[in-house]
Amino acid sequence: MSALYSRVAFVGLGLIASSMAHAIRRAGLAEQMSGTARSSETRAIAREIDLVDLVCDTAAEAVAGADLVVLCVPIGAMERIAQEIAPHLAEGATVTDVGSVKQAVIDAVAPHLPDHVQFIPGHPLAGTEHSGPRAGFAELFDNRWCILTPPEGHDPDALDRLTRFWQGMGANVDLMDAAHHDLVLAVTSHTPHLIAYTMVGVADDLRRVTDSEVIKYSAAGFRDFTRIAASDPTMWRDVFLTNKDATLEILGRFTEELFVLQRAIRQGDGALLHDYFTRTRAIRRGIIEAGQDTDAPDFGRIKT
């Protein structure tokens, strides 16, 4: 594939940005890449591993001359970054982001950008529990979805180019309204993460069940919660603070349902439990058929 952008600039060099850098190199999607990170340690690592062509000390330098700017910082830092880069953005550049909440990013970023750039927010649905510039790998987006939420009045050519860019990194691209994105993700990602964090916190607190027992016997179900509860704390704090309404709505539904099942346990209502567990089984089959998980025993985990 020929280069789609002459210079791609990353603001933030964590798991997503570093995976994008590897995927861009794999497919030759950019002639040059620049990047910056707030911490000098992160910038030093990026230089050491040659993550991008040019590691800059400031966001202003990194975005200068870039025709694609990718904001890869926690959502709480988006507004400050938008203010900082706005005067330095090239005429006709596209600005995008990879934040897990879209309406909050639009509110934080759009008002600060000049009219001569295109802002097309994005969210690649991919991740691991690892963070930082060394965590990235080129395959992270392969066969995963990237949701773009272009605003009204966007330039179709800019959207088309950004779509082909994500496809070049291996992703499937979908377009969605920002508010709908935030609700869908509250269901498929934000609330599950909060619940997993809670369950791991409970286990951690229990005095009669020692840490070592929780860990030793984790393969019985708990293990699957700990992976998602090991994700980056700053990123997730900002997700919950900025997707508050949708998350609280789904949490309310969750608590309601949990109380129904809790009462069924207390009252010994086996029929209700059995019906419920039968219904939830079907959705798993759909996920495997959609290629979003492996059907292999034990999740396809590598045997230790």
Identify residues 176-205 at the interface with a second copy (CB under 8 A): 180, 183-185, 187-205
Q: How far is the CB of 48 from a second copy (least distance, A)?
A: 20
Query: Judged by CB under 8 A, which stretch of 52-60, 150-158, 161-169, 235-243 contacts a second copy?
Result: 235-243
* Six token digits for residue 96: 């995008």
Consecutive H or E run containing 150: none
Among 4, 27, 125, 162, binds a second copy (CB under 8 A): 125
What gap in Å lies between CA 10 and CA 34, rounded to an integer?
A: 6
Q: How far is the CB of 164 from a second copy (least distance, A)?
A: 20
Strand partners, 34: 9, 54
Among 41, 129, 157, 160, binds a second copy (CB under 8 A): 129
If binding is defined by CB under 8 A, does position 39 make contact with a second copy? no
What gap in Å lies between CA 96 and CA 121, rounded to an integer?
A: 5
Taking Cα atoms as reference points, which of 13, 27, 138, 8 lies closest to residue 72? 13
* Six token digits for residue 28: 């030759």
- How far is the CA of 215 from the CAs of 209, 211, 233, in angstroms? 10, 6, 21
Query: Judged by CB under 8 A, which stretch of 90-98, 107-115, 161-169, 228-236 contacts a second copy?
Result: 228-236
| Beta pairing, strands 30-36 & 172-175 | unpaired
Among 49, 143, 160, 177, binds a second copy (CB under 8 A): 143
What gap in Å lies between CA 283 and CA 42, rounded to an integer?
A: 40
Who's near 82: CB < 8 A, 6+ residues apart? Answer: 71, 108, 109, 112, 113
Separation of CA 84 from chain center: 23
What gap in Å lies between CA 117 and CA 165, rounded to an integer?
A: 17
Q: How far is the CB of 187 from a second copy (least distance, A)?
A: 5
Binding mask 255-284 for a second copy (x = CB under 8 A): x-xx--xx-xxx-x-x--xx-xxxxxx-xx
Q: Closer CB to a second copy, residue 63 or residue 75? A: 75
Among 128, 134, 154, 161, binds a second copy (CB under 8 A): 128
Judged by CB under 8 A, the chain residues 48 through 77 that form the site for a second copy are: 76
* Six token digits for residue 176: 């969605």
Query: Judged by CB under 8 A, which stretch of 20-28, 52-60, 152-160, 241-249 contacts a second copy?
Result: 241-249
- How far is the CA of 243 from the CAs of 6, 109, 149, 180, 232, in angstroms? 34, 16, 16, 12, 17
Q: How far is the CB of 5 from a second copy (least distance, A)?
A: 26
Tokens 């309204």 belong to 177
Binding residues for a second copy, how many (CB under 8 A)?
115
Q: Closer CB to a second copy, residue 95 or residue 98? A: 98
Q: How far is the CB of 55 from a second copy (least distance, A)?
A: 23
Q: How far is the CB of 127 from a second copy (least distance, A)?
A: 7
Judged by CB under 8 A, the chain residues 2 through 21 that form the site for a second copy are: none
* Six token digits for residue 279: 């219904």
Q: Closer CB to a second copy, residue 50 or residue 205? A: 205
Query: Judged by CB under 8 A, which stretch of 31-39, 50-58, 138-146, 156-164 contacts a second copy?
Result: 138-146
If binding is defined by CB under 8 A, does position 247 make contact with a second copy? yes
Taking Cα atoms as reference points, which of 124, 226, 234 lies closest to residue 171? 124
Among 1, 44, 175, 206, binds a second copy (CB under 8 A): 206
